[in-house]
């Protein structure tokens, strides 16, 4: 049965023959039936009772005309404030700014999230930052942990080759910059905050997540009394300014006032405005110039001077901020790989360096979850306990017992390759099929994957918007916590939580990712 989608243009619902969003997620969940319908009580005071049963979040019972009004206001606000992406139906929208603009996919109203777990996620941010830095310095751990993956996954193999080359030439990264995002879901049964993954390269949406928070605060300032919601319960989100601050401080530590920051981008990028927001803050607040280059352009225009300075198109580069280079698609030829090696060999600050990039792989995540491994990098027992508390079950495919269990109960597992971005994971009965195929072939390809405990998160009512239309559904959300880390030799200059990203999707979806077309941008409503 098709979903009912409401178009703002004609103000009339129509029956869609397909699901409003392609099946999407980051991990996990089965759809749940709607709870008993509750009467709206906008005059009641803000309740901090479990939100799934709260009339304050009974979005399915909202008056249709009210939703239309809010949706219209949201679309106007998004257009005026740049909450925009390129429209994939318009040619050149991913390469020419201002061509084919459409509002970013978004949740019309914020999603409830318990304040206790919100604070836990924020407290974990600086601990994960320090963990990434320490693991990045342990070359033996990185190479040995990824050795089997290297044989099965060509992309990871190429990254490891670059890492090995930097070790051979004794390349030291004295200034180390991390713009990270740790993603979590809230387990419905235990109410535990569980980590999905840690992103160390191209952690996107610092700019647009900022705007969604502002949008939701604006909506509640106008309609909050009717909804029974308080805009002050949406936590502040200053991600774009904090990302810009970290980049600016790294630029300052490099100590070349004439140098620029280079953002490495994909040739087609419909999420370019999220990136341009960071550049705008760097220019307006810090008077720092940024340039945008693809990997191929870096290869054609780049050179390293004898002192290690990287020049691209005649400009000295102080900081390299990767918003590409995390997927095999970004390396269609040897030219792109040559560019990556060139940048790594330079003295420019890399965000991330090749070692930081490798720390963010799924295999390293799985290795760190093994008993006793965190103690190799962290001395503080309280910090270790906090990290372990958020870890899910993570296993290598060379564990025959867990593989057998996954074949018997595939619905309890997610099979994950060493890839970033949405659309890569394997779910449900496909897990069983994939594992049986690997067993039959008897190859080393199983080293390209890990198994992860499937999270079954809480779900709530939501109103999801895409392409000027809105749709009510049950939804699940994923909280991403941005963090910034800057170190120069032994001096830690910056290490803190730096804003957040909430992504929401229909609860029946498996894959996740806004850019991949599965999720919408959202914000947190603390309960």
Classify the C-alpha dihedral 89-93-99-102 as positive or negative: positive
The pLDDT confidence band at residue 12, using thresholds 50, 70 and 90, is low
The pLDDT confidence band at residue 422, using thresholds 50, 70 and 90, is low
- The enclosing H or E element of 222 equals helix 206-227
Active site residues: 181, 197, 199, 204, 362, 416, 420-421, 503
**What percentage of the chain has pLDDT greater than the value 90?**
69
Classified as helix, coil or strand, 261 is strand
The pLDDT confidence band at residue 513, using thresholds 50, 70 and 90, is low
**pLDDT on residue 10:** 54
Give the dihedral of Cα atoms 48, 383, 498, 119; nearest 10 deg.
Answer: 10
Average pLDDT value for residue range 195-210: 95
> 19 versus 36: which is more confidently predicted?
19
Cα 63 versus chain centre, distance: 33
Average pLDDT value for residue range 482-504: 97
CB 38 within 8 Å of CB 58: yes
Distances (CA, A) of 527 to 202, 234, 413, 474: 31, 10, 30, 18
- The enclosing H or E element of 394 equals strand 394-396
**pLDDT on residue 377:** 98
The pLDDT confidence band at residue 41, using thresholds 50, 70 and 90, is very low
- Tokens representing 102 are 């459409």
Average pLDDT value for residue range 360-375: 94
* 89 Cβ neighbours under 8 A, 6+ residues apart: 100
Residue 405 neighbours by CB distance under 10 Å: 15
Angstrom distance (rounded) from CA 485 to CA 471: 39
**pLDDT on residue 274:** 97
| Whether the predicted pLDDT of 491 surpasses 70 | yes
| Whether the predicted pLDDT of 199 surpasses 50 | yes
**Homologous superfamily of 393-454:** Glutathione synthase lid domain (3.30.1490.50)
| Whether the predicted pLDDT of 87 surpasses 80 | yes
pLDDT in tens, 274-292: 999 999 999 999 999 999 9
Average the pLDDT over each of 123-132, 176-185, 247-256, 456-465 and give the range with the smallest value: 456-465
| Whether the predicted pLDDT of 11 surpasses 60 | no
Residue 31 half-sphere exposure, CB side, CA atoms within 13 Å?
11
- For residue 352, say if its preceding peptide bond is cis, omega within 30 degrees of 0: yes
Cα 157 versus chain centre, distance: 23
> 30 versus 126: which is more confidently predicted?
126
Classified as helix, coil or strand, 503 is strand
Give the dihedral of Cα atoms 369, 375, 377, 381; nearest 10 deg.
Answer: 100
Residues making up the annotated binding site for ATP are 197, 362, 416-425, 427, 452-455, 478, 505, 511
Average pLDDT value for residue range 157-184: 97
Residue 366 half-sphere exposure, CB side, CA atoms within 13 Å?
24
Cα–Cα nearest to 374, from 118, 125, 130:
130
Residue 303 neighbours by CB distance under 10 Å: 11
The model carries a pTM of 0.87
The pLDDT confidence band at residue 512, using thresholds 50, 70 and 90, is low
**pLDDT on residue 159:** 97
Average pLDDT value for residue range 292-315: 97
| Whether the predicted pLDDT of 31 surpasses 90 | no
The pLDDT confidence band at residue 165, using thresholds 50, 70 and 90, is very high
The DSSP call for residue 230 is -
Average the pLDDT over each of 163-167, 495-499, 518-522 and give the range with the smallest value: 518-522
Average pLDDT value for residue range 344-351: 98
Residues making up the annotated binding site are 181, 197, 199, 201-204, 269-271, 275, 323-326, 362, 416-425, 427, 452-455, 478, 503, 505, 511, 514-515
Classify the C-alpha dihedral 306-307-308-314 as positive or negative: negative
Residues making up the annotated binding site for Mg(2+) are 197, 199, 420
Mean pLDDT across the chain, nearest whole number?
87
| Whether the predicted pLDDT of 323 surpasses 90 | yes
**pLDDT on residue 296:** 98
| Whether the predicted pLDDT of 14 surpasses 70 | no
**pLDDT on residue 29:** 35
- Where exactly does CATH 3.30.1490.50 map onto the chain? 393-454
């Amino acid at each position: 049965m098709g979903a009912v989608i409401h178009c703002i243009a004609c103000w009339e619902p129509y029956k869609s023959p397909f699901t409003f969003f392609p099946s999407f997620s980051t991990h996990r969940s089965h759809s749940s039936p709607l709870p008993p319908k509750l009467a709206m009580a906008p005059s009641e005071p803000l309740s901090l009772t479990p939100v799934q049963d709260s009339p304050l979040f009974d979005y399915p019972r909202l008056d249709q005309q009210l939703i239309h009004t809010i949706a219209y206001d949201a679309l106007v606000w998004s257009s005026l404030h740049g909450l925009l992406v390129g429209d994939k139906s318009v040619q050149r929208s991913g390469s020419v700014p201002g061509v084919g603009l459409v509002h970013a996919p978004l949740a019309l109203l914020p999603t409830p999230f318990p304040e206790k777990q919100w604070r836990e996620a924020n407290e974990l941010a600086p601990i994960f930052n320090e963990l990434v830095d320490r693991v990045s310095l342990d070359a033996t751990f990185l190479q040995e942990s990824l050795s089997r993956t290297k044989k099965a996954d060509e992309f990871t193999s190429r990254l490891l080759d670059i890492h090995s080359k930097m070790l051979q030439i004794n390349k030291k990264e004295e200034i180390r910059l991390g713009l990270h995002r740790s993603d979590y879901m809230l387990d419905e049964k235990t109410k535990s905050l569980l980590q999905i993954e840690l992103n160390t390269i191209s952690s996107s949406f610092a700019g647009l997540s900022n705007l969604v928070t502002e949008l939701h605060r604006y909506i509640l300032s106008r309609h909050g009394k009717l909804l029974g919601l308080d805009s002050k319960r949406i936590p502040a989100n200053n991600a774009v300014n904090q990302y810009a601050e970290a980049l600016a401080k790294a630029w300052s530590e490099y100590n070349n006032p004439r140098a620029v920051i280079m953002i490495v981008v994909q040739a087609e990028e419909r999420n370019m405005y999220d990136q341009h927001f960071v550049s705008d803050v760097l220019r307006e607040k810090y008077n720092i110039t940024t340039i945008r280059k693809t990997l191929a352009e870096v290869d054609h225009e780049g050179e390293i001077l004898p002192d290690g300075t990287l020049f691209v198109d005649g400009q000295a580069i102080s900081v390299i901020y990767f918003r590409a280079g995390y997927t095999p698609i970004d390396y269609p030829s040897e030219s792109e790989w040559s560019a990556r090696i060139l940048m790594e060999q330079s003295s420019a600050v890399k965000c991330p360096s090749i070692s930081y990039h490798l720390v963010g792989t799924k295999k390293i995540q799985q290795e760190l979850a093994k008993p006793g491994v965190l103690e190799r990098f962290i001395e503080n027992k309280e910090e270790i306990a906090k990290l372990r508390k958020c870890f899910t079950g993570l296993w290598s495919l060379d564990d025959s017992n867990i593989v057998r269990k996954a074949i018997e109960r595939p619905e309890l597992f997610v099979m994950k390759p060493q890839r970033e971005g949405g659309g890569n994971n394997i779910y449900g009965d496909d897990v069983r099929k994939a594992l049986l195929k690997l067993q039959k072939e008897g190859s080393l390809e199983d080293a390209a994957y890990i198994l992860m405990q499937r999270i079954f998160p809480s779900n709530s009512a939501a109103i999801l918007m895409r392409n000027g239309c809105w749709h009510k559904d049950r939804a699940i959300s994923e909280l991403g916590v941005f963090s910034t880390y800057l170190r120069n030799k032994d001096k830690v200059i910056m290490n803190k939580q730096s804003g957040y990203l909430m992504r929401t999707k229909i609860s029946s979806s498996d894959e996740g990712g806004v850019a991949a077309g599965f999720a919408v941008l959202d914000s947190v409503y603390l309960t």
